Amino acid sequence: MSRELFSTEAEHGVLGALLLEGDLFDLITEKVKVSDFHDLENAALFQAMVDCHAAGQPIDVVTVADQCRFLPSGEPTMAYAGDIARNVPSTANWTAYARIMRERSVLRQVIQAADVIREQASADRPVAEIVALAQQATADLRDLDDGAPKYQRLDQMMGRAADIIDDKFNGRMPSWPSTGLKDLDELAQGIRPKKVTVIAGLPGSGKTTLALQIAQHNAIAKRKPWLVFSIEMPGEELGVRAIASLGGVDLRRLDNPAKMQDDDWSKMVGAVAQAANAPLFICDDPVQTPASIRATSRQCQREHGLAGIVVDYLGLIQLEKRGRSRTEEVGAISKALLRLAKELDVPVIELAQLNRDSTKRPGKKPQASDLRDSGEIEADASCIILVHRDMDSEAGQNGVTELLMPKCRHAKVGSCVVQQQGEYGRFVDFSGNPFPSDEEVEMGRSLASQYRRKSA
């Protein structure tokens, strides 16, 4: 015998309990929402009760009828509410009625999700996209209220925090993921799990290089599994960049192997050996949605574990349902990546573009407000790193790059200077004076000598 997808009796039981005992309002509305009602008349009556409470009125047959005189069918609210109040078996059983309502509501949502998935499957869309949509749809339904409180006492949280501090002091706590760059690590104090770090810059500034280097460092040097969504750049190009970065082989010679020298070949072999079996995973599918990113991330976590995610870049992610403005879409995508970081307990590094307003102001230094498309990106980020390289200056032409951190919830805002080695597709720690004085220039000192790089 098939289960009914709604229970009129349970809906009337919840409504009747509220009409007879208005003090139950907070308890009942914590369990039941307007959307949980199947019958439109019952949903409208419940909404009238919510409106009564919001207006500071007590909830009974008279006040509810005064708030909403007629239901969608045209029936007077007072008559309908009076019948329910007279026939409710007992207000003591409202929790059972609410549980039945909630279960039937979830069943209807499951069927609705299945219908959407069936419709998408019939539309001849890619199988992987349909699977990702199905996983997202069912994930949204995974938790029925189990009755456990959604709050905890402050002293319990403080106790757990004290245990974490003690574990850190005694070396029992794993350290935050590192960037691999000394000054940047001191500035940002690690890449934090459950949070979103935004790396932003103008096209060609090196933001992709920095993000990939962070993932590469953690996966190869620390042997922690990281997942990179390279929406813009194909995986083969990432492979070439990794060879250049790890092996110290000039990218130009890798692009033209006829010019490669004997030691370049040995360096390439050494770079491949360094990365052997390293848990750095690349997804270079150019079509990504929040649902597909979540599905791939969960699969990677199940099969290999997961210590961090890089998304390159935010502006290329698509929403399953279009129709909103691009600003609203980017805001929704940003929120989805923040939820993913919290759900999987890993840091998410998302790359974003800057508009060119910074190039018009003195000093040309970018600000967080220069983030393109949406202020939601700035709001959702725990840490923002802006990659700034002024190519109109001799310092910038020599690879001197300033990493500005205008926002960080766990460290003091500031900046640091790193050296970009474009020929190797990497950054290294900077040594020397990044901003030489006019006197030094006039003395005829070779500027190139001021930008010596530490050996890789």
**14-28 pLDDT, tens per residue?**
998 988 888 888 888
Residue 227: pLDDT band (50, 70, 90) is very high
* More confident site: 359 or 285: 285
Residue 214: the pLDDT is: 92
Q: How confident is the model at residue 138 (pLDDT cuts 50, 70, 90)?
A: low
pLDDT of residue 144: 46
Choose from 165-169, 211-215, 353-357, 429-433 the range with maximum mean pLDDT. Answer: 211-215
pLDDT at 447: 42
Predicted TM-score of the model (pTM): 0.63
Range of lowest pLDDT (210-219, 361-370, 376-385, 414-423): 361-370
The answer, yes or no, to whether residue 310 has pLDDT greater than 90, is yes
CATH T-level topology, domain 177-385: Rossmann fold (3.40.50)
Would you give the DSSP letter of residue 150?
S
Nearest by Cα to 24 from 46, 2, 55: 46
Each domain of the chain, given as residue ranges in start order, spans 8-102, 177-385
Q: Which fold has domain 8-102?
A: DNAb Helicase; Chain A (1.10.860)
Which of 138-142, 185-189, 312-316 is predicted with the least confidence, judged by mean pLDDT?
Answer: 138-142
Which of the two residues, 98 and 165, has the higher pLDDT score? 98
What DSSP element (H or E) covers 294? Answer: helix 290-304
pLDDT band at 322 (very low <50, low <70, confident <90, very high): low
Q: Counting Cβ atoms within 10 Å, is residue 435 exposed (0-12), middle (13-18) or buried (19+)?
A: exposed
pLDDT > 50? residue 448:
no
Burial of residue 276 (CB within 10 Å: 0-12, 13-18, 19+) is: exposed
